[in-house]
Chain A
Amino acid sequence: MSQQNKFWKSTYIVTLALAVLTIAARPAYAVASYARQTGLACEGCHTVFPELTPFGRLFKMNAYTLQNVKPLEDINEKKQSTLSIGELPPISAMFVGSSSWTAHGQPDSVNNGKAQNGTVGMPQQLSLFYAGRITDNVGAFLQLTYDPSANSIGMDNTDIRYANRGMINDRELIYGVTVNNNPTVQDVWNTAPAWTFPFLSPMAVPTPTAQGSLLTSLLAQQTAGVGPYVYIDKSIYAEVSAYRSAQIGVATTPLDSTTADVIDTAAPYWRLAWNHEWGKNSIMIGHWGIYSALQPGNGMPIVGSATNKYTDLNFDAQYQYIGEDHLVTLTTNFLHERQRLDGSFQAGTSNNLNHLNRESLVAAYYYLRKIGGSIGLFNLSGNSDPLKYPSVGGSGNIQGSANGSPNSNWATLELDYLPWLNTKLFIQYTAYNKFNGSTGKYNLPMTTRSASDNNTIYAGFWFAF
């Protein structure tokens, strides 16, 4: 391997490790300004935040525009509405404080013994939202997040949409257009990667390397997508969107060879779901997919270079029972990701053809929306690629893989107590059966760390106000 290739390989590994740690700590959200705008308590839209009820899904598909407070209004000489905004700006905040511990302490970053075990986030995350109606048919979910690891404030999840309603052959129709920065953030079911359990993940703990290399992880908050959607008779949902790179934190514009994972032209995303509601029950069976050719960056010209092509095909289902006292949610996902990595293969940093499968099964139960929890089983598998999932020595040895396998499986149990509907106290435990290809010491001979050494206890509080 040439010196240049070694340099890019090292850069790739460090970037991936940072991405894994950053993405793993990214929670999902629920906001109070929607409650102020609609006059509905949290339970109108959420079972337990941030999971949506059937009404919450409609609220989102209707572009967050339902309003029950007196607006400031204006009309023109033809009595057409020209302004309809709330008297108070729809501003909300969210605060997450937490601490996380691994079963065995992690190594010091400069190989100087062990680091402190028990990473405290105070905050782990602080977010400000503009979340609410902008016009009669346009609403937004805009999020600014303070990231303590970077000590900076940045753009987080964004979904701005237009929606309207109509009838076709006596069938109710909601139709609209979403503009967003994260494929699946516009989705209304809690199977979508942007909105699925675990909604909160611990800070600064090792997570399976391949998790961060999934396409949706690479594109989250680094893209801009636009697309139309329809929801017919609360039964059929269909959407087609196209995404382009809109990376944040990148100094050079336009995007060039110094930036990795830039979408070549545009990435199509599609979603089709069947929904049925009866009694206190609802069920969704659906599919989403995305295809994207990504420029590998790292010195490869942005135009004309071989690209890394990803095709994601996901099948998901959700069942909800929402009773007065008891609430149950079951979700499952089957994701197949095909990777034709022409760019990385030429650079000597991966196989040419790879695939990853990710399966999840999550069950949640709450009593009186006050106490309950979730248990999730997760499996990540694919072919070995020692270049993409390499054995890593030195300070990064907690993320490496001795056999180049992405295979990992784990379970996460979370118990929640909500003294108020907008306050969640949680304790979560994640246990790894297999980590980066092994049930035992997964990164020999670099380190003797075992899969179960990464088991993590994570506890904290989450306020939405």
Chain B
Amino acid sequence: MMKKFMIVAVVALTAFVASAQESREGERVATDVCSNCHGKDGNSISPLFPRLAAQREEYLVAQLNAFRDRSRSDPHARAFMWGMAQSLSESTIKALAAYYAKQKPTPLPAVNSPLAAQGKHIYENGVDAQSVPACTTCHGNKGEGTEIAPRLAGQHTTYLVKQMEAFRSMLRENDVMHENIKNIDNDQISAVGAYLGSK
């Protein structure tokens, strides 16, 4: 009995230490390297770089892997993240994703413009006439993200607009987004970006 207990205790302790080390590694890399662009705690200042605080862990892992194996190849990915991700290990990717998923997003000022209201309508209902589905289906009712799609709430409007344009022009790879966004126009992209950027 004692022997079994000791084995369980050692395994549990090892797992705890490994988890703590991974957590520290995630924080170290995030603080020393990623924070230069993505800001302290993942709340970036510049809209050239996405806010990562509270982003879905599985999405971050997928994106870091896509940067590392260069399967995500939009211009910004090539210029910045191909280099930054090229030497990340599996464990560091997991640690970084876990670190950012736990960070608290700083609130952005609320925007009650007609543009944001239009964006809210598109986000929640889609545009039937253009075969644009509601974004809520994948990204959640409040843009909080789901297991299959990233958090969008509180993201920089400029960044969101740039990404939607990249999906529409197929600069950024994603079959689902290519299909969903192919008929949306520039004004509608701006509206959705304004709405999500103010959440």
Cα-based distance from A39 to B87 in the complex (angstroms): 10
Is the pair A69, B80 in contact by a Cβ cutoff of 8 Å? no
Q: Does A278 contact B (CB under 8 A)?
A: yes
- A42 and chain B: residue at smallest CB distance: B79
Contacts of A59 in B (CB 8 A): 36
Q: Is the CB of B86 within 8 A of A279?
A: no
Q: Which secondary structure dominates where chain A touches chain B?
A: mixed
Give every chain A residue within 8 A of B40 (Cβ-Cβ).
172
> Judging by beta carbons under 8 Å apart, are A324 and B48 in contact?
yes
- The answer on a CB contact under 8 Å between B162 and A39 is no
Task: Indicate if the CB atoms of B86 and A324 lie closer than 8 Å.
Answer: no
Over the window 83-113 of chain B, the binary record of Cβ atoms lying under 8 Å from chain A Cβ atoms (1 yes, 0 no) is 1111100000000000000000000000000
A38 contact from B32, B45, B47, B83, Cβ within 8 A? B83
Contact check, B79 vs A44: say whether CB atoms are below 8 A apart. Answer: yes
Contact with B along A157-195 (1 / 0, CB 8 A): 000000001000000100000000000000000000000
Residues 135 to 165 of chain B near chain A (Cβ within 8 Å)? 158, 162
Set of chain A residues within 8 Å of B31, measured between Cβ atoms: 165, 172
Residue of A nearest to B78 (CB): A41
Give the residues from 52 to 103 in chain A that come closer than 8 angstroms, CB to CB, to chain B: 54-55, 58-59, 66, 68-70
> How far does the Cβ of B177 sit from chain A's closest Cβ, in whole Å?
19
Q: Is the CB of B86 within 8 A of A44?
A: no
- Check A55/B84 contact, CB under 8 A, given A279-B46, A324-B48, A324-B162: no
What's the minimum C-beta distance from A279 to chain B, rounded to whole angstroms?
Answer: 6
Q: Mark A199-241, 1 if CB is under 8 A from B, else 0.
A: 0000000000000000000000000000000000000000000
Residues of A near B48 (CB, < 8 A) are: 280, 322, 324
Residues facing A in B45-84 (CB within 8 A) are: 45-48, 78-80, 82-84
Within 8 A of B (CB), among A241-283: 277-280
| Per-residue contact bits, chain B 32-45, to A (CB 8 Å; 1 contact, 0 not) | 11011100100001
**Is residue A43 contacting chain B, with contact meaning CB distance below 8 A?**
yes
Interface of B is mostly: helix
Q: How far is the CB of B166 from chain A (nearest CB, A)?
A: 11
Contact: A55 with B36, CB < 8 Å?
yes
Chain A contributes a number of interface residues (CB within 8 A of B) equal to 22
Q: Is the CB of B36 within 8 A of A58?
A: yes
Whole-angstrom distance between the alpha carbons of A85 and B31 in the complex? Answer: 22
Q: Which residues of A contact B36 (CB under 8 A)?
A: 55, 58-59
CA distance A41 to B33 in the complex (A): 16
* In the complex, chain A residues whose CB is within 8 Å of the CB of B33: 66
Interface magnitude class on chain B = 20 to 34
Complex-state Cα separation, A55 to B34, whole angstroms: 11
Q: Give min CB distance, A421 to chain B, whole Å.
A: 9
Q: From A40, A58, A279, A280, give the contact of B84 (CB < 8 A).
A: A40
A279 is contacted by which of B47, B82, B83 (Cβ under 8 Å)?
A: B47
- Tell me the bound Cα distance from A43 to B46 in angstroms: 15
Is the pair A70, B45 in contact by a Cβ cutoff of 8 Å? no
Which A residues touch B46, using CB under 8 A? 54, 277, 279-280, 322
Please, how many angstroms separate the alpha-carbon atoms of A43 and B49 in the complex? 13
- CB-based nearest B residue for A282: B46
Is B45 within 8 A of A278, CB to CB? yes
Chain B residues whose CB sits within 8 angstroms of the CB of A66 once the complex forms: 33
A44 touches B80 (CB 8 A): yes
Give the docked Cα–Cα distance between A44 and B37 (Å).
10
Q: Are B84 and A68 in contact (CB under 8 A)?
A: yes
Contact A70 B79 (CB under 8 A): no
A41 to B48 alpha-carbon distance, docked (Å): 15
Shortest C-beta distance, B163 to chain A (Å), equals 12
Say whether B79 contacts A69, CB under 8 Å: no
Assess the B32–A165 pair: CB atoms within 8 A.
yes
A172–B80 alpha-carbon span in the complex (Å): 22
Q: How long is the Cα–Cα vector from A44 to B82 in the complex, in angstroms?
A: 12
Contacts of B47 in A (CB 8 A): 279-280
Q: Which residues of B contact A68 (CB under 8 A)?
A: 83-87
Which B residue's beta carbon lies closest to that of A71? B87
Bound Cα distance from A58 to B33, whole angstroms: 10
> Is the beta-carbon distance between B84 and A39 smaller than 8 angstroms?
yes
CB distance from A39 to the nearest CB of B (A): 2
Report which of B79, B84, B87, B162 forms a contact with A43, defined as CB distance below 8 A: B79
Say how far A47's CB is from chain B's closest CB, in angstroms. Answer: 12
Instruction: Return the contact of B86 from the options A69, A278, A322 (Cβ within 8 A).
Output: A69
Measured in the bound complex, the distance between the Cα atoms of B165 and A324 in whole Å is: 13
B contact residues around A279 at 8 Å (CB):
45-47, 158
Cβ-closest chain B residue relative to A165: B32
B83 close to A172 (CB less than 8 A): no
Supply 28 A–B pairs (Cβ within 8 Å), ascending by A.
A38-B83, A38-B84, A39-B82, A39-B83, A39-B84, A40-B79, A40-B80, A40-B83, A41-B78, A43-B79, A44-B80, A54-B46, A55-B36, A58-B36, A68-B83, A68-B86, A69-B87, A70-B87, A172-B31, A172-B35, A277-B45, A278-B45, A279-B45, A279-B47, A279-B158, A280-B46, A280-B158, A322-B46
Nearest 3 Cβ contacts at the A-B interface: A39-B83, A41-B79, A40-B83
- Interface residues of A, Cβ cutoff 8 Å to B: 38-41, 43-44, 54-55, 58-59, 66, 68-70, 165, 172, 277-280, 322, 324
Chain B residues engaging chain A, CB cutoff 8 angstroms: 31-33, 35-37, 40, 45-48, 78-80, 82-87, 158, 162
Given contacts A54-B46, A55-B37, A68-B86, 18 further A-B pairs with CB under 8 A are A38-B84, A39-B84, A41-B78, A43-B79, A55-B36, A58-B36, A68-B84, A165-B31, A165-B32, A172-B31, A172-B40, A277-B46, A278-B45, A279-B45, A280-B47, A322-B46, A324-B48, A324-B162
